[in-house]
Amino acid sequence: MAGDLSWVPPGVDTHRANVARVYDYWLGGSHNFLADQDVGRAIAAVEPNMRAIARANRAFLGRAVQFLAAAGIRQFLDIGSGIPTQGNVHEIAQRADPAARVVYVDIDPVAIAHSKAILAGNENATVIEGDLRDPETILTHDISRRLIDFSQPTGLLLMVVLHFIADAEDPWRILATLRDALAPGSYLVLGHATYEGKPEIAHATETVYNRGVSTQLHLRPRAEILRFFDGFELVDPGLVYVPLWRPASPADVPGDSHSFQCLVGVARR
């Protein structure tokens, strides 16, 4: 997209790095600016595995959505959905069933604008601007209510977003509010960064990230991430480092899975 900035929504400060665009940079997307690339590169210098981690996270999301589709889930609420890239949730869900419905939610105007562009004409998938810290507003939004029947099982996707919510904002309460809106048979797909795999590099990554991006990153230990699954039952293999969750092939599992710094799980309500 070099040179062509016509897609940039008004009011976006292209000189300040932000969460969605730094992630887009790691994933090899084109909706990021020099400020995002600088932070992305500074972190990759501390954690050379960063791009591989981001790609592994996206691949997990794809496997998890396929798993949910095979379990009969036909409606998905994806909060912190990000800037669309390859293997988007609606593409996977609607490949399984063209009538599958997807509501994407993000706080970032670039993610919203690009999602709207690629979803134009798709009656069953849409995006709303929303803040995970205010789950009630997301759940009662007209569009959520139109596309999602909360009396039926739903796939709730919270992929690498809860670590942007500070303890003081009680992410566990946020999750409980969302969980309580879900019908039995619903699923939670969650990924969260941890420092436990390799603490020194993880804490250095966190420091560099928080210096460059105003939305702060909060790495958590496994026990605190496990608490997000209260009221759900984890499916096999439980809460694991991202390459270990039902890999497509044993060849996809590196010897050092703990170095992927992201714990993921899928659980049934």
Query: Which CB sits closer to ligand SAM, 69 or 107?
Result: 107
Distance CA 135, CA 161 (A): 13
Query: Which CB sits closer to ligand SAM, 78 or 197?
Result: 78
Contact between 66 and 42 (Cβ < 8 Å):
no
Q: Considering the complex, what minimum distance in angstroms separates the CB of residue 184 from ligand SAM?
A: 25
Site string for ligand SAM, 112-141 (x = CB under 6 A): -------------------xxx--------
160 binds ligand SAM (CB under 6 A): yes
Stretch that binds ligand SAM, among 79-87, 148-156, 217-225, 258-266 (CB under 6 A): 79-87
Contact between 107 and 165 (Cβ < 8 Å):
no
Q: Which of residues 166-195 bind ligand SAM (CB under 6 A)?
A: none
Distance CA 162, CA 147 (A): 24
Q: Is the dihedral of CA 196, 200, 205, 210 positive or negative?
A: positive
Q: Is the dihedral of CA 37, 241, 56, 236 positive or negative?
A: negative
Q: Which of residues 24-63 bind ligand SAM (CB under 6 A)?
A: 57-58, 61
Q: Give CA separation, 160 vs 75, 121, 164, in Å.
A: 20, 28, 8
Q: Considering the complex, what minimum distance in angstroms separates the CB of residue 142 from ligand SAM?
A: 18
- Total residue count of the chain as it appears in this document: 269
Sites of contact with ligand SAM (CB under 6 A):
19-20, 23, 57-58, 61, 79-82, 106-108, 111, 131-133, 159-161, 164, 215
